[in-house]
Amino acid sequence: MAKKKAESDDIIQPLSDIDKIIHEPARLMIMSYLYVVESADFVFLRNQTGLTDGNLSSHLSKLETAGYVEVEKKFKGKKPQTILKLSKQGRESFEVYRKKMERMLSGLSEK
């Protein structure tokens, strides 16, 4: 019984190390899109993720505060344009997150 619990703890333990900023579904979606592109603007991300303007802004603020996303605001003519890209730290954190999740999920599927 104790051995089984220890095994289960080995699998579940990495959950506590998971980056909770990235782990939230909407932010994970944003990070994934920004991971496969070099940069994208706000409109592109909104269309691809299906998030509302307010929701996307709020998640982007959290990612920016965590240092994962770089936000550049500029004007195109008279209209504002927001360009977003993953920072070096954001890219590395996303890779670490992916590896941890892969390891944890593959461990669960074997049991």
Residues that bind another protein (CB under 8 A): 25-26, 28-29, 32-33, 35-51, 53, 76-77, 79-82
Q: Residue 57 or residue 89: which is nearer to another protein going by CB?
A: 57
In the complex, minimum distance from the CB of residue 105 to another protein, in angstroms, rounded to a whole number: 12
* Residue 44: both structure tokens together: 């592109």
In the complex, minimum distance from the CB of residue 34 to another protein, in angstroms, rounded to a whole number: 9
Distances (CA, A) of 60 to 2, 23, 74, 78, 108: 43, 14, 16, 23, 31
Pair 85, 38: CB distance under 8 Å: yes
In the complex, minimum distance from the CB of residue 82 to another protein, in angstroms, rounded to a whole number: 7
